[in-house]
Amino acid sequence: MTAVTTPRPLLVRLAETGREHVPFTLDGKAAEALVGDTVLTAVLTNSTTLRRTEFSGEPRAGFCLIGACQDCWIRTEEGVRLRGCATMIVSGMRLLTAAETER
Ligand code: FES
């Protein structure tokens, strides 16, 4: 028998866990962030990757975290393109990762 394991999110929150929760969806599934999180933090505390590159399909998770490298683009279900490290999470956001960003 093979054990089924669920991949752990890339980021694990160790501090400031008492902030108000912010519900959003990630690839159609309910997720939670905390008030003050960027979209990048919100996604990576719920997922192993932010998106997949449109060139090779490799997973990406941002790089500079200060708005300079352009590695953290992510789309909403509505097709809006956001820079994950420079956009604050908002209640009700519907974000897409991985191949879903290629629509
Ligand atoms: S991680 Fe570099 S611009 Fe967002």
Look up residue 41 and give its two tokens.
């933090």
Look up residue 57 and give its two tokens.
């399909």
Separation of CA 54 and ligand 1 centre (Å): 16
pTM (2 decimals)? Answer: 0.87
Tens digit of pLDDT for each residue in 12-59?
Answer: 999 989 999 999 999 999 999 999 999 999 999 999 999 888 888 889
Give the pLDDT score at 57: 86
As a whole number, mean pLDDT of residues 59-72 equals: 92
Separation of CA 11 and ligand 1 centre (Å): 16
Numbers of helices and strands, H then E, in the chain: 1, 7
d(CA 98, CA 15): 28
For residue 80 and ligand 1, the question of a CB distance below 6 A is answered with no
Contacts (Cβ under 8 Å, ≥6 apart) of 86:
38, 67
Chain-centre distance for alpha carbon 32: 11
